[in-house]
Amino acid sequence: MGVNVVFVNIDWKILRHNSDKSTRRNMAVLHATIADIVRGMKPTVLCMCEVGEVSKPLNQGHMEQIAKTIQEAWQCAVTEEVNLKFLFETGAPYMTAYDESQVQCTEHRILRKLYSARGESRTAQVFLCRGPDDVAVDIVNVHAPSGTIRLQDASA
């Protein structure tokens, strides 16, 4: 039995959800996307980034709504029982969903001011994932956000 860790950028910026209609439309897209990922990639752990932005974070209600949509999508996509748990911190642009019946994820934290890229501070989500045969792995989810400032190779 293996553990499949999948990383995905959900590109969920608060400015795109400024009305009930756009939120419902985007939640439907998120539901379909997560269901496709679960059916096709069969993740044990799903690490997401751009769940909001560092400069424009989502509030607790937004994070809970996204987690609920992900849970519903995951359960619609599988035939077996899953016991989904979530790791997130309000104000940080990361969310991880994992099947607790297969792995245990602990020691969750957000690293702030991890490094600076062209004047923008970067963060990371970090946690310990313990799977079959008590094998433990540190998971680090680092994302350089999209936008107008692009990262460049320093040697260029």
Query: Mean pLDDT for each consecutive 10-residue tract of the chain (156 residues)?
Result: 89 80 90 96 95 87 94 94 95 95 96 79 92 92 68 53
User: Smallest Cα–Cα separation from 7: which of 44, 52, 59?
Assistant: 44
Q: Is residue 29 part of a domain?
A: yes
Q: What is the pLDDT of residue 120?
A: 73
Residue 47 lies in a domain: yes
CB 106 within 8 A of CB 79: no
Cα 12 from Cα 52, distance rounded (Å) = 5
Residue 152, domain member (yes or no)? no
Q: What is the pTM of this model?
A: 0.88
Q: Do 88 and 67 meet the contact criterion of CB atoms below 8 Å apart? A: yes
How far is 94 from 63, CA to CA, in rounded Å? 10
Indicate whether 18 belongs to any domain: yes
* The total number of structural domains that make up the chain: 1
> Which region holds residue 10: left if phi is over 0, alpha if psi is between -120 and 50, else beta?
alpha
Predicted confidence at residue 1, as pLDDT, reads 64
pLDDT in the model for residue 75: 95
pLDDT of residue 146: 58
- In-domain check, residue 25: yes
For helices 60-77 and 20-41, angle between their N-to-C axes, nearest 10 degrees: 40
pLDDT number for residue 6: 96
What's the rounded Cα separation, in Å, for the pair 18 and 70? 20
Question: Is residue 148 included in any domain, yes or no?
Answer: no
Which of these, 85, 100, 80, 69, lies nearest to 39 by C-alpha position?
A: 80
CATH code, domain carrying 117 = 3.60.10.10
Write out the residue range of the structural domain in which residue 61 sits.
Answer: 5-142
Residue 151: inside a domain:
no
In the block, tokens 């539901």 appear at 31
User: Residue 18: its pLDDT value, please?
Assistant: 75
Answer whether 88's CB lies under 8 Å from 48's CB: no
**Spatial separation of the C-alpha atoms in residues 153 and 8, rounded to whole Å:** 23
Specify if 155 maps to a domain: no
